[in-house]
Amino acid sequence: MGRTAGIWPYLCIAPALIVFILLEVVPAFATSIFSLTDYTGLPGAPIHWVGIDNYTGLFAGQQTFLLRALGVTAIFSLAVTIFQNGIAVLVAWLLNAKLRGEIAVRSIVFLPVVLGATVNGLTWYVMFNPLGGVVTMTLQQLFGIRTNLLGTPATALYAVIWVQIWANLGFSMMVFLAGMQAIPSDVYEAGKIDGTGPWSAFRFLTIPLLAPSITINVLLAIIGTITGFELILVLTDGGPALASQTLGMWVFNTAFFNGNRLPGFASAIAMVQFAIVFVIAMIMQSYLRRREAVL
Amino acid sequence: MIRQEALDDAVAAPSATRTRPRIKSSTVGGYAVLALLLLIYLIPVVFVVFVSLMTSRQFVTGAASLPSPVMWTNYPDAWVKGAFNTYFLNSLVYTFSVVAGTLTLGTLAAFPIARGHVRGSNIFYILFLSGILLPAGIIPQFFILQQFGLYNTKIGYILLWWSRVALPIFVLTGFIKSIPTELDDAAAMDGCPYLRYIFQIIMPLLRPALSVVGLIVAIRVWNDIVGPVIFLPSNSIKPISAGLLQFYAENTADQTLIAAAIVITASPLVLLYIFTQRYIIAGMTSGALKG
Protein backbone atom coordinates (compact mmCIF):
# COMPACT_ATOMS: atom_id res chain seq x y z
CA MET A 1 0.00 0.00 0.00
CA GLY A 2 2.82 2.40 0.91
CA ARG A 3 4.52 2.07 -2.48
CA THR A 4 1.43 2.86 -4.47
CA ALA A 5 0.32 5.76 -2.32
CA GLY A 6 2.87 8.26 -3.64
CA ILE A 7 2.78 11.54 -1.77
CA TRP A 8 -0.33 10.73 0.28
CA PRO A 9 1.43 9.39 3.40
CA TYR A 10 3.40 12.65 3.64
CA LEU A 11 0.26 14.72 3.16
CA CYS A 12 -1.38 12.76 5.96
CA ILE A 13 1.38 13.55 8.45
CA ALA A 14 1.65 17.20 7.39
CA PRO A 15 -1.32 18.79 9.26
CA ALA A 16 -0.45 17.22 12.63
CA LEU A 17 3.23 17.98 12.08
CA ILE A 18 2.61 21.64 11.23
CA VAL A 19 0.45 22.50 14.26
CA PHE A 20 2.69 20.41 16.49
CA ILE A 21 5.92 22.13 15.36
CA LEU A 22 4.46 25.63 15.23
CA LEU A 23 2.50 25.68 18.49
CA GLU A 24 4.27 23.07 20.62
CA VAL A 25 7.91 22.53 19.64
CA VAL A 26 8.83 26.08 18.61
CA PRO A 27 7.23 27.68 21.71
CA ALA A 28 8.98 25.17 24.01
CA PHE A 29 12.35 26.31 22.72
CA ALA A 30 11.45 29.95 22.06
CA THR A 31 10.97 30.68 25.77
CA SER A 32 14.78 30.91 25.99
CA ILE A 33 14.82 33.51 23.20
CA PHE A 34 12.10 35.63 24.81
CA SER A 35 14.03 35.53 28.09
CA LEU A 36 16.69 37.68 26.38
CA THR A 37 14.20 40.40 25.36
CA ASP A 38 12.07 43.11 26.91
CA TYR A 39 8.89 41.63 25.35
CA THR A 40 5.87 43.33 26.91
CA GLY A 41 3.05 41.36 25.32
CA LEU A 42 1.46 44.55 24.01
CA PRO A 43 0.45 44.20 20.34
CA GLY A 44 2.71 46.23 18.06
CA ALA A 45 5.12 47.32 20.81
CA PRO A 46 8.76 46.96 19.72
CA ILE A 47 10.81 44.12 21.19
CA HIS A 48 14.47 44.73 22.02
CA TRP A 49 17.36 42.42 22.86
CA VAL A 50 18.45 43.03 26.42
CA GLY A 51 21.05 40.29 26.72
CA ILE A 52 21.07 38.67 30.14
CA ASP A 53 19.43 41.67 31.84
CA ASN A 54 16.38 39.63 32.80
CA TYR A 55 18.58 37.04 34.48
CA THR A 56 20.69 39.57 36.37
CA GLY A 57 17.44 41.31 37.32
CA LEU A 58 16.06 38.00 38.59
CA PHE A 59 19.13 36.92 40.55
CA ALA A 60 20.14 40.36 41.84
CA GLY A 61 17.20 42.80 41.79
CA GLN A 62 14.39 40.35 42.50
CA GLN A 63 16.46 38.02 44.64
CA THR A 64 14.06 38.17 47.60
CA PHE A 65 11.09 37.27 45.38
CA LEU A 66 13.06 34.47 43.76
CA LEU A 67 14.10 32.97 47.09
CA ARG A 68 10.54 33.34 48.38
CA ALA A 69 9.09 31.55 45.33
CA LEU A 70 11.76 28.84 45.54
CA GLY A 71 10.94 28.26 49.19
CA VAL A 72 7.19 28.07 48.55
CA THR A 73 7.76 25.73 45.60
CA ALA A 74 10.00 23.48 47.69
CA ILE A 75 7.43 23.17 50.50
CA PHE A 76 4.55 22.67 48.05
CA SER A 77 6.42 20.11 45.99
CA LEU A 78 7.88 18.11 48.87
CA ALA A 79 4.69 18.04 50.95
CA VAL A 80 2.48 17.03 48.02
CA THR A 81 4.92 14.43 46.67
CA ILE A 82 5.49 12.77 50.04
CA PHE A 83 1.95 12.82 51.43
CA GLN A 84 0.09 12.18 48.18
CA ASN A 85 2.20 9.13 47.39
CA GLY A 86 2.44 7.92 50.98
CA ILE A 87 -1.32 8.01 51.50
CA ALA A 88 -2.00 6.66 48.01
CA VAL A 89 0.19 3.61 48.50
CA LEU A 90 -1.47 2.80 51.83
CA VAL A 91 -4.98 3.22 50.43
CA ALA A 92 -4.12 1.16 47.35
CA TRP A 93 -2.80 -1.55 49.66
CA LEU A 94 -6.07 -1.54 51.63
CA LEU A 95 -8.08 -1.65 48.41
CA ASN A 96 -5.97 -4.52 47.11
CA ALA A 97 -6.83 -6.54 50.22
CA LYS A 98 -10.24 -8.14 50.36
CA LEU A 99 -12.18 -5.30 51.92
CA ARG A 100 -15.80 -4.55 51.13
CA GLY A 101 -16.71 -1.30 49.45
CA GLU A 102 -13.48 -1.26 47.44
CA ILE A 103 -15.18 -0.14 44.23
CA ALA A 104 -17.10 2.68 45.93
CA VAL A 105 -13.94 4.06 47.54
CA ARG A 106 -12.05 3.81 44.25
CA SER A 107 -14.75 5.61 42.27
CA ILE A 108 -15.23 8.41 44.77
CA VAL A 109 -11.55 9.08 45.44
CA PHE A 110 -10.90 9.23 41.68
CA LEU A 111 -13.81 11.63 41.01
CA PRO A 112 -11.84 14.88 41.62
CA VAL A 113 -9.31 13.84 38.96
CA VAL A 114 -12.17 14.02 36.46
CA LEU A 115 -13.76 17.19 37.84
CA GLY A 116 -10.79 19.44 37.22
CA ALA A 117 -9.10 22.35 38.98
CA THR A 118 -11.87 24.96 38.85
CA VAL A 119 -14.57 22.75 40.35
CA ASN A 120 -12.21 21.22 42.93
CA GLY A 121 -10.71 24.58 43.87
CA LEU A 122 -14.02 26.40 44.26
CA THR A 123 -15.54 23.45 46.15
CA TRP A 124 -12.82 23.83 48.76
CA TYR A 125 -13.13 27.58 48.59
CA VAL A 126 -16.70 27.10 49.85
CA MET A 127 -15.45 24.55 52.43
CA PHE A 128 -12.86 27.06 53.73
CA ASN A 129 -15.30 29.98 53.70
CA PRO A 130 -14.72 31.99 56.91
CA LEU A 131 -18.47 32.41 57.54
CA GLY A 132 -20.17 29.07 56.90
CA GLY A 133 -17.51 26.70 55.57
CA VAL A 134 -17.33 23.21 57.06
CA VAL A 135 -13.61 23.47 57.76
CA THR A 136 -13.97 26.82 59.51
CA MET A 137 -16.90 25.61 61.61
CA THR A 138 -15.12 22.37 62.54
CA LEU A 139 -11.97 24.21 63.63
CA GLN A 140 -14.12 26.55 65.70
CA GLN A 141 -15.88 23.65 67.40
CA LEU A 142 -12.64 21.80 68.12
CA PHE A 143 -10.25 24.59 69.00
CA GLY A 144 -12.43 27.63 69.45
CA ILE A 145 -10.56 29.57 66.75
CA ARG A 146 -12.29 31.27 63.86
CA THR A 147 -9.90 31.59 60.96
CA ASN A 148 -9.80 32.17 57.25
CA LEU A 149 -7.32 29.50 56.21
CA LEU A 150 -6.98 30.64 52.60
CA GLY A 151 -6.80 34.32 53.51
CA THR A 152 -4.08 34.06 56.15
CA PRO A 153 -0.45 34.06 54.94
CA ALA A 154 0.61 31.56 57.60
CA THR A 155 -1.93 28.90 56.55
CA ALA A 156 -2.77 29.57 52.87
CA LEU A 157 0.00 27.39 51.44
CA TYR A 158 -0.97 24.44 53.64
CA ALA A 159 -4.62 24.79 52.70
CA VAL A 160 -3.58 24.71 49.03
CA ILE A 161 -1.38 21.65 49.66
CA TRP A 162 -4.36 19.87 51.27
CA VAL A 163 -6.59 20.55 48.26
CA GLN A 164 -3.86 19.57 45.79
CA ILE A 165 -3.46 16.19 47.52
CA TRP A 166 -7.24 15.74 47.80
CA ALA A 167 -7.62 16.42 44.09
CA ASN A 168 -4.85 14.11 42.85
CA LEU A 169 -4.79 11.27 45.36
CA GLY A 170 -7.10 9.17 43.17
CA PHE A 171 -4.66 9.23 40.27
CA SER A 172 -1.65 8.05 42.31
CA MET A 173 -3.86 5.51 44.06
CA MET A 174 -5.01 3.93 40.78
CA VAL A 175 -1.45 3.77 39.42
CA PHE A 176 -0.30 2.03 42.62
CA LEU A 177 -3.32 -0.28 42.62
CA ALA A 178 -2.63 -1.35 39.04
CA GLY A 179 1.00 -1.94 40.01
CA MET A 180 -0.05 -4.07 42.98
CA GLN A 181 -2.48 -6.12 40.92
CA ALA A 182 0.36 -6.91 38.53
CA ILE A 183 2.36 -8.56 41.34
CA PRO A 184 1.89 -12.32 40.94
CA SER A 185 0.11 -13.92 43.90
CA ASP A 186 2.68 -16.71 44.28
CA VAL A 187 5.09 -14.09 45.65
CA TYR A 188 2.74 -13.65 48.61
CA GLU A 189 2.16 -17.39 48.91
CA ALA A 190 5.91 -17.95 49.06
CA GLY A 191 6.07 -15.20 51.66
CA LYS A 192 3.33 -16.85 53.68
CA ILE A 193 5.28 -20.11 53.75
CA ASP A 194 8.24 -18.13 55.08
CA GLY A 195 5.93 -16.72 57.74
CA THR A 196 5.52 -13.08 56.69
CA GLY A 197 2.68 -11.20 58.33
CA PRO A 198 0.59 -8.65 56.43
CA TRP A 199 2.80 -5.73 57.45
CA SER A 200 6.09 -7.37 56.55
CA ALA A 201 4.55 -8.59 53.29
CA PHE A 202 3.68 -4.96 52.52
CA ARG A 203 7.07 -3.65 53.56
CA PHE A 204 9.32 -6.34 52.05
CA LEU A 205 7.28 -7.69 49.13
CA THR A 206 4.76 -5.10 47.93
CA ILE A 207 6.88 -1.95 48.20
CA PRO A 208 10.00 -3.34 46.45
CA LEU A 209 7.94 -4.92 43.66
CA LEU A 210 6.05 -1.66 43.26
CA ALA A 211 9.23 0.26 42.38
CA PRO A 212 8.24 1.13 38.76
CA SER A 213 4.91 2.63 39.91
CA ILE A 214 6.71 4.55 42.65
CA THR A 215 9.15 6.01 40.11
CA ILE A 216 6.33 7.19 37.84
CA ASN A 217 4.17 8.60 40.62
CA VAL A 218 7.01 10.45 42.35
CA LEU A 219 8.30 11.95 39.10
CA LEU A 220 4.81 13.04 38.00
CA ALA A 221 4.14 14.62 41.41
CA ILE A 222 7.43 16.53 41.46
CA ILE A 223 7.13 17.80 37.89
CA GLY A 224 3.43 18.55 38.33
CA THR A 225 3.94 20.63 41.47
CA ILE A 226 6.87 22.66 40.09
CA THR A 227 5.27 23.45 36.72
CA GLY A 228 1.52 23.20 37.41
CA PHE A 229 -0.40 25.89 39.24
CA GLU A 230 -4.04 25.42 38.24
CA LEU A 231 -5.36 24.88 41.76
CA ILE A 232 -3.25 27.69 43.19
CA LEU A 233 -4.63 29.99 40.49
CA VAL A 234 -8.21 29.12 41.46
CA LEU A 235 -7.71 29.12 45.24
CA THR A 236 -5.36 31.99 46.07
CA ASP A 237 -3.74 33.32 42.87
CA GLY A 238 -0.44 33.00 44.75
CA GLY A 239 -1.53 35.15 47.68
CA PRO A 240 -2.07 36.35 50.30
CA ALA A 241 1.19 38.33 50.38
CA LEU A 242 2.79 35.83 47.97
CA ALA A 243 2.43 33.08 50.61
CA SER A 244 1.39 30.48 48.01
CA GLN A 245 3.22 31.78 44.93
CA THR A 246 5.19 28.91 43.45
CA LEU A 247 7.56 29.40 40.50
CA GLY A 248 4.87 28.37 38.00
CA MET A 249 2.37 30.78 39.52
CA TRP A 250 4.97 33.54 39.47
CA VAL A 251 5.73 33.00 35.77
CA PHE A 252 2.02 33.19 34.97
CA ASN A 253 1.37 36.29 37.10
CA THR A 254 4.44 38.12 35.83
CA ALA A 255 3.70 37.33 32.20
CA PHE A 256 -0.01 38.01 32.09
CA PHE A 257 -1.57 39.39 35.24
CA ASN A 258 0.50 41.73 37.35
CA GLY A 259 -0.17 45.43 36.89
CA ASN A 260 3.10 45.62 34.99
CA ARG A 261 3.11 42.66 32.59
CA LEU A 262 6.58 41.47 31.67
CA PRO A 263 6.47 38.30 29.56
CA GLY A 264 10.17 38.75 28.70
CA PHE A 265 11.16 38.73 32.37
CA ALA A 266 8.69 35.91 33.05
CA SER A 267 10.48 33.86 30.37
CA ALA A 268 13.68 34.13 32.40
CA ILE A 269 11.82 32.80 35.48
CA ALA A 270 10.39 30.01 33.29
CA MET A 271 13.93 29.07 32.20
CA VAL A 272 15.05 28.81 35.83
CA GLN A 273 11.96 26.72 36.54
CA PHE A 274 12.74 24.47 33.57
CA ALA A 275 16.37 24.03 34.67
CA ILE A 276 15.21 23.00 38.15
CA VAL A 277 12.68 20.50 36.80
CA PHE A 278 15.26 19.08 34.41
CA VAL A 279 17.95 18.60 37.05
CA ILE A 280 15.55 17.12 39.64
CA ALA A 281 13.95 14.80 37.08
CA MET A 282 17.38 13.56 35.96
CA ILE A 283 18.60 12.95 39.52
CA MET A 284 15.36 11.30 40.65
CA GLN A 285 15.14 9.23 37.50
CA SER A 286 18.61 7.79 37.87
CA TYR A 287 18.21 7.30 41.62
CA LEU A 288 14.81 5.60 41.39
CA ARG A 289 15.76 3.53 38.34
CA ARG A 290 18.92 2.38 40.08
CA ARG A 291 16.81 1.29 43.04
CA GLU A 292 14.51 -0.56 40.65
CA ALA A 293 17.52 -2.30 39.12
CA VAL A 294 18.93 -3.28 42.53
CA LEU A 295 15.61 -4.75 43.51
CA MET B 1 3.49 0.38 23.79
CA ILE B 2 -0.17 0.42 24.62
CA ARG B 3 -1.94 -2.39 22.85
CA GLN B 4 -5.52 -3.42 22.65
CA GLU B 5 -5.10 -6.35 25.04
CA ALA B 6 -3.22 -4.26 27.58
CA LEU B 7 -6.02 -1.72 27.61
CA ASP B 8 -8.62 -4.44 27.86
CA ASP B 9 -6.75 -5.82 30.86
CA ALA B 10 -6.63 -2.42 32.45
CA VAL B 11 -10.32 -1.88 31.76
CA ALA B 12 -11.42 -5.29 33.00
CA ALA B 13 -12.36 -5.45 36.67
CA PRO B 14 -9.72 -7.05 38.87
CA SER B 15 -10.44 -10.74 39.13
CA ALA B 16 -12.04 -11.81 42.36
CA THR B 17 -10.25 -15.15 42.32
CA ARG B 18 -6.81 -13.61 42.73
CA THR B 19 -5.32 -14.39 46.12
CA ARG B 20 -4.48 -11.13 47.73
CA PRO B 21 -2.39 -10.45 50.81
CA ARG B 22 -4.66 -10.99 53.81
CA ILE B 23 -5.20 -8.48 56.54
CA LYS B 24 -6.55 -10.17 59.62
CA SER B 25 -6.21 -8.31 62.90
CA SER B 26 -5.94 -5.01 61.14
CA THR B 27 -9.14 -5.43 59.11
CA VAL B 28 -11.02 -3.14 61.47
CA GLY B 29 -8.29 -0.55 61.17
CA GLY B 30 -8.47 -0.88 57.40
CA TYR B 31 -12.20 -0.21 57.37
CA ALA B 32 -11.71 2.76 59.68
CA VAL B 33 -9.19 4.29 57.28
CA LEU B 34 -11.44 3.71 54.26
CA ALA B 35 -14.43 5.18 56.10
CA LEU B 36 -12.45 8.28 57.04
CA LEU B 37 -11.32 8.60 53.42
CA LEU B 38 -14.89 8.33 52.16
CA LEU B 39 -15.95 11.08 54.58
CA ILE B 40 -13.12 13.37 53.44
CA TYR B 41 -14.22 12.91 49.80
CA LEU B 42 -17.98 12.94 50.30
CA ILE B 43 -18.34 15.85 52.73
CA PRO B 44 -17.16 18.55 50.26
CA VAL B 45 -19.43 17.17 47.53
CA VAL B 46 -22.49 16.92 49.77
CA PHE B 47 -21.77 20.27 51.40
CA VAL B 48 -21.55 22.11 48.06
CA VAL B 49 -24.84 20.55 46.93
CA PHE B 50 -26.47 21.60 50.25
CA VAL B 51 -25.08 25.14 50.07
CA SER B 52 -26.34 25.41 46.48
CA LEU B 53 -29.86 24.95 47.87
CA MET B 54 -29.60 27.35 50.84
CA THR B 55 -30.51 30.98 51.26
CA SER B 56 -27.48 33.26 51.69
CA ARG B 57 -28.78 34.01 55.17
CA GLN B 58 -28.77 30.35 56.16
CA PHE B 59 -25.23 29.88 54.84
CA VAL B 60 -23.98 32.63 57.11
CA THR B 61 -26.01 31.72 60.21
CA GLY B 62 -26.47 27.96 60.12
CA ALA B 63 -24.72 26.19 57.27
CA ALA B 64 -24.30 23.02 59.32
CA SER B 65 -27.88 21.91 58.73
CA LEU B 66 -30.09 20.77 55.89
CA PRO B 67 -31.16 23.53 53.50
CA SER B 68 -34.42 25.09 54.66
CA PRO B 69 -36.17 26.55 52.84
CA VAL B 70 -34.86 24.66 49.80
CA MET B 71 -33.88 27.29 47.26
CA TRP B 72 -34.22 25.55 43.90
CA THR B 73 -34.24 29.03 42.37
CA ASN B 74 -30.48 29.34 43.05
CA TYR B 75 -29.89 27.24 39.94
CA PRO B 76 -31.80 29.35 37.39
CA ASP B 77 -30.52 32.47 39.18
CA ALA B 78 -26.88 31.42 38.85
CA TRP B 79 -27.47 30.22 35.27
CA VAL B 80 -28.95 33.52 34.16
CA LYS B 81 -26.73 35.82 36.22
CA GLY B 82 -23.58 34.07 35.03
CA ALA B 83 -24.72 33.78 31.38
CA PHE B 84 -23.99 30.08 31.64
CA ASN B 85 -25.70 29.17 28.39
CA THR B 86 -22.97 31.06 26.51
CA TYR B 87 -20.23 29.30 28.48
CA PHE B 88 -21.92 25.93 28.17
CA LEU B 89 -22.30 26.26 24.38
CA ASN B 90 -18.70 27.48 24.03
CA SER B 91 -17.47 24.47 26.01
CA LEU B 92 -19.45 22.14 23.76
CA VAL B 93 -17.94 23.79 20.67
CA TYR B 94 -14.38 23.61 22.05
CA THR B 95 -14.71 20.06 23.28
CA PHE B 96 -16.28 18.78 20.07
CA SER B 97 -13.88 20.51 17.68
CA VAL B 98 -10.78 19.64 19.70
CA VAL B 99 -11.74 15.97 20.02
CA ALA B 100 -12.77 15.61 16.36
CA GLY B 101 -9.65 17.46 15.17
CA THR B 102 -7.24 15.64 17.46
CA LEU B 103 -8.57 12.21 16.50
CA THR B 104 -8.49 13.03 12.76
CA LEU B 105 -5.02 14.62 12.81
CA GLY B 106 -3.79 11.88 15.11
CA THR B 107 -5.02 8.96 13.00
CA LEU B 108 -3.87 10.54 9.73
CA ALA B 109 -0.36 10.95 11.13
CA ALA B 110 -0.23 7.70 13.10
CA PHE B 111 -1.09 5.41 10.17
CA PRO B 112 1.84 6.26 7.84
CA ILE B 113 4.18 6.32 10.84
CA ALA B 114 3.04 2.93 12.16
CA ARG B 115 3.30 1.37 8.68
CA GLY B 116 6.58 3.00 7.73
CA HIS B 117 5.01 4.54 4.63
CA VAL B 118 7.13 7.65 4.96
CA ARG B 119 10.89 7.89 4.85
CA GLY B 120 12.31 8.19 8.35
CA SER B 121 9.03 7.24 9.99
CA ASN B 122 11.01 6.45 13.14
CA ILE B 123 12.28 10.01 13.26
CA PHE B 124 8.73 11.33 13.00
CA TYR B 125 7.71 8.91 15.73
CA ILE B 126 10.48 10.05 18.07
CA LEU B 127 9.76 13.69 17.25
CA PHE B 128 6.11 13.35 18.27
CA LEU B 129 7.07 11.22 21.26
CA SER B 130 9.43 13.93 22.51
CA GLY B 131 6.48 16.33 22.49
CA ILE B 132 5.10 14.54 25.53
CA LEU B 133 8.12 15.71 27.53
CA LEU B 134 8.47 19.26 26.15
CA PRO B 135 7.85 22.09 28.61
CA ALA B 136 4.84 24.24 27.75
CA GLY B 137 5.94 27.51 26.14
CA ILE B 138 2.94 29.66 27.04
CA ILE B 139 4.70 32.98 26.46
CA PRO B 140 5.85 32.19 22.88
CA GLN B 141 2.41 30.67 22.22
CA PHE B 142 0.88 33.97 23.28
CA PHE B 143 3.25 35.82 20.92
CA ILE B 144 2.56 33.52 17.96
CA LEU B 145 -1.23 33.67 18.36
CA GLN B 146 -1.03 37.45 18.64
CA GLN B 147 1.06 37.69 15.45
CA PHE B 148 -1.48 35.65 13.49
CA GLY B 149 -4.41 37.62 14.94
CA LEU B 150 -5.61 34.47 16.69
CA TYR B 151 -5.23 35.70 20.27
CA ASN B 152 -8.63 35.89 21.99
CA THR B 153 -10.33 33.88 19.22
CA LYS B 154 -12.02 30.51 19.35
CA ILE B 155 -9.96 29.15 16.46
CA GLY B 156 -6.68 30.15 18.14
CA TYR B 157 -7.60 28.27 21.29
CA ILE B 158 -8.70 25.21 19.28
CA LEU B 159 -5.43 25.25 17.30
CA LEU B 160 -3.46 25.27 20.57
CA TRP B 161 -5.27 22.12 21.62
CA TRP B 162 -4.75 20.47 18.23
CA SER B 163 -1.00 20.96 18.67
CA ARG B 164 -1.13 18.63 21.69
CA VAL B 165 -1.41 15.70 19.32
CA ALA B 166 1.73 13.93 20.56
CA LEU B 167 0.14 11.60 23.10
CA PRO B 168 -2.77 10.58 20.80
CA ILE B 169 -0.29 9.77 18.02
CA PHE B 170 1.77 7.71 20.44
CA VAL B 171 -1.26 5.71 21.57
CA LEU B 172 -2.80 5.30 18.10
CA THR B 173 0.49 4.19 16.51
CA GLY B 174 0.60 1.34 18.99
CA PHE B 175 -2.93 0.29 18.14
CA ILE B 176 -2.43 0.51 14.37
CA LYS B 177 0.61 -1.77 14.63
CA SER B 178 -1.71 -4.44 16.02
CA ILE B 179 -3.90 -4.31 12.89
CA PRO B 180 -2.63 -6.93 10.38
CA THR B 181 -0.97 -5.49 7.26
CA GLU B 182 -2.67 -8.10 5.02
CA LEU B 183 -5.66 -5.80 5.10
CA ASP B 184 -3.56 -2.97 3.62
CA ASP B 185 -2.29 -5.23 0.83
CA ALA B 186 -5.79 -6.39 -0.08
CA ALA B 187 -7.01 -2.79 -0.17
CA ALA B 188 -4.04 -1.75 -2.32
CA MET B 189 -4.85 -4.55 -4.75
CA ASP B 190 -8.40 -3.35 -5.03
CA GLY B 191 -7.07 0.12 -5.77
CA CYS B 192 -8.55 1.68 -2.64
CA PRO B 193 -7.29 5.29 -2.31
CA TYR B 194 -5.01 5.95 0.65
CA LEU B 195 -7.17 8.52 2.43
CA ARG B 196 -10.33 6.53 1.94
CA TYR B 197 -8.63 3.45 3.33
CA ILE B 198 -7.65 5.33 6.51
CA PHE B 199 -11.09 6.85 7.00
CA GLN B 200 -13.25 3.87 6.01
CA ILE B 201 -11.22 0.84 7.09
CA ILE B 202 -8.65 1.90 9.70
CA MET B 203 -10.70 4.40 11.71
CA PRO B 204 -13.60 1.98 12.35
CA LEU B 205 -11.09 -0.66 13.48
CA LEU B 206 -9.56 1.89 15.84
CA ARG B 207 -12.86 2.71 17.50
CA PRO B 208 -11.97 1.38 20.98
CA ALA B 209 -8.73 3.36 21.04
CA LEU B 210 -10.32 6.45 19.53
CA SER B 211 -13.12 6.47 22.10
CA VAL B 212 -10.75 6.25 25.07
CA VAL B 213 -8.40 8.91 23.66
CA GLY B 214 -11.41 11.08 22.75
CA LEU B 215 -12.87 10.72 26.23
CA ILE B 216 -9.63 11.78 27.92
CA VAL B 217 -9.08 14.73 25.56
CA ALA B 218 -12.71 15.82 26.07
CA ILE B 219 -12.31 15.86 29.86
CA ARG B 220 -9.04 17.81 29.62
CA VAL B 221 -10.57 20.43 27.31
CA TRP B 222 -13.71 20.78 29.42
CA ASN B 223 -11.57 21.31 32.56
CA ASP B 224 -8.82 23.48 31.08
CA ILE B 225 -8.49 26.67 33.10
CA VAL B 226 -5.01 28.09 32.49
CA GLY B 227 -5.50 28.11 28.69
CA PRO B 228 -8.78 30.07 28.66
CA VAL B 229 -7.58 32.51 31.34
CA ILE B 230 -4.57 33.41 29.16
CA PHE B 231 -5.87 33.04 25.62
CA LEU B 232 -9.62 33.78 25.91
CA PRO B 233 -10.05 36.94 27.99
CA SER B 234 -13.42 37.90 26.41
CA ASN B 235 -16.40 36.58 28.33
CA SER B 236 -18.36 35.81 25.17
CA ILE B 237 -15.91 33.11 24.07
CA LYS B 238 -14.97 31.63 27.45
CA PRO B 239 -15.61 27.94 28.14
CA ILE B 240 -17.52 26.90 31.25
CA SER B 241 -14.46 26.35 33.51
CA ALA B 242 -13.26 29.91 32.97
CA GLY B 243 -16.87 31.12 33.08
CA LEU B 244 -17.24 29.56 36.53
CA LEU B 245 -14.07 31.29 37.72
CA GLN B 246 -15.33 34.58 36.28
CA PHE B 247 -18.69 34.09 38.00
CA TYR B 248 -16.90 33.44 41.30
CA ALA B 249 -14.79 36.60 40.89
CA GLU B 250 -17.91 38.70 40.26
CA ASN B 251 -20.06 37.17 43.04
CA THR B 252 -17.53 36.41 45.78
CA ALA B 253 -19.99 37.28 48.52
CA ASP B 254 -22.77 35.05 47.22
CA GLN B 255 -21.62 31.57 48.23
CA THR B 256 -24.95 29.90 47.52
CA LEU B 257 -24.96 31.01 43.88
CA ILE B 258 -21.28 30.02 43.53
CA ALA B 259 -22.15 26.58 44.90
CA ALA B 260 -25.01 26.26 42.39
CA ALA B 261 -22.63 27.30 39.58
CA ILE B 262 -20.11 24.67 40.74
CA VAL B 263 -22.79 21.97 40.59
CA ILE B 264 -23.91 23.18 37.13
CA THR B 265 -20.32 23.00 35.82
CA ALA B 266 -19.55 19.65 37.41
CA SER B 267 -22.75 17.78 36.54
CA PRO B 268 -21.98 16.91 32.87
CA LEU B 269 -18.65 15.46 34.01
CA VAL B 270 -20.24 13.53 36.88
CA LEU B 271 -22.76 12.03 34.44
CA LEU B 272 -20.00 11.11 31.99
CA TYR B 273 -17.98 9.61 34.84
CA ILE B 274 -20.87 7.47 36.08
CA PHE B 275 -21.27 5.82 32.67
CA THR B 276 -17.69 5.57 31.43
CA GLN B 277 -15.72 5.34 34.67
CA ARG B 278 -13.68 2.26 33.77
CA TYR B 279 -12.53 3.69 30.46
CA ILE B 280 -11.71 7.07 31.98
CA ILE B 281 -9.62 5.57 34.81
CA ALA B 282 -7.86 3.13 32.48
CA GLY B 283 -7.22 5.81 29.87
CA MET B 284 -5.91 8.38 32.32
CA THR B 285 -3.61 6.06 34.24
CA SER B 286 -2.40 3.86 31.34
CA GLY B 287 -0.22 6.68 30.01
CA ALA B 288 1.60 6.62 33.34
CA LEU B 289 1.74 2.85 33.51
CA LYS B 290 3.39 2.31 30.16
CA GLY B 291 5.79 5.21 30.62
- Determine the 3-state secondary structure of B194 from DSSP: helix
Summarize the confidence of residues A74-96 as an average pLDDT: 95
Contact B112 A2 (CB under 8 A): yes
Domain parsing of chain A, residue ranges: 1-25, 64-294
Name which of B14, B118, B164 is nearest A24 (Cβ-Cβ). Answer: B164
What's the pLDDT score for residue B26? 66
* Residue A127 with chain B: CB contacts under 8 Å: 43-44, 47-48
What's the pLDDT score for residue B22? 52
Summarize the confidence of residues A179-198 as an average pLDDT: 85
Higher pLDDT, A122 or B17: A122
- Determine the 3-state secondary structure of B56 from DSSP: helix
pTM of the model: 0.90
Among A11-25, A110-124, A131-145, the least confident range:
A131-145
What's the pLDDT score for residue B287? 63
Low-confidence ranges of chain B (pLDDT < 50): 1-18, 23, 290-291
Higher pLDDT, A62 or B12: A62
What's the pLDDT score for residue B249? 93
| Angle at which helices B255-290 and A102-127 cross, to 10° | 140
What's the pLDDT score for residue B14? 46
What's the pLDDT score for residue B291? 39
* Residue B195 with chain A: CB contacts under 8 Å: 8, 12
User: Can you name the CATH fold of B4-8+82-254+274-290?
Assistant: MetI-like fold (1.10.3720)
Summarize the confidence of residues A234-251 as an average pLDDT: 93
What's the pLDDT score for residue A114? 95
List pLDDT tens digits, range A19-34.
Answer: 999 999 999 999 999 9
- Determine the 3-state secondary structure of A37 from DSSP: strand
What's the pLDDT score for residue B3? 45
| Residue B153 Rama label (left phi>0; alpha psi -120 to 50; beta) | beta
User: Can you name the CATH fold of A64-294?
Assistant: MetI-like fold (1.10.3720)
Contact B226 A96 (CB under 8 A): no
Which of A72, A28, A31 has the alpha carbon at shortest distance from A225? A72
Locate the chain B residue with the closest alpha carbon to A175. B285
Which of A281, A290, A174, A279 has the alpha carbon at shortest distance from A223? A281
Rounded to whole angstroms, what are the CA distances from B242 to A217, A238, B45, B226?
29, 18, 20, 8
The pair phi, psi for residue B239, each rounded to 5°, is: -80, 175
- Determine the 3-state secondary structure of B164 from DSSP: coil
Summarize the confidence of residues A124-134 as an average pLDDT: 91
Which of A116, A165, A259 has the alpha carbon at shortest distance from B242? A116
Locate the chain B residue with the closest alpha carbon to A220. B288
The pair phi, psi for residue A49, each rounded to 5°, is: -75, 135
What's the pLDDT score for residue B78? 93
- Measured in angstroms, the CA of B14 and the nearest CA of chain A are apart by 8
Contact A270, B140 (CB under 8 A): no
Which of B233, B37, B31, B258 has the alpha carbon at shortest distance from B151? B233
The secondary structure of B58-81 as a DSSP string is HHHHHTTS--SS--TTHHHHHHHH
Locate the chain A residue with the closest alpha carbon to B10. A178
Summarize the confidence of residues A185-204 as an average pLDDT: 83
Which of A208, A207, A197, A246 has the alpha carbon at shortest distance from A88? A207
Summarize the confidence of residues A225-230 as an average pLDDT: 93
Contact A1 B115 (CB under 8 A): yes
Sign of CA dihedral B250, B252, B253, B257: positive
What's the pLDDT score for residue A294? 64
Locate the chain A residue with the closest alpha carbon to B101. A16
- Measured in angstroms, the CA of B262 and the nearest CA of chain A are apart by 6
The secondary structure of A161-177 as a DSSP string is HHHHHHHHHHHHHHHHH
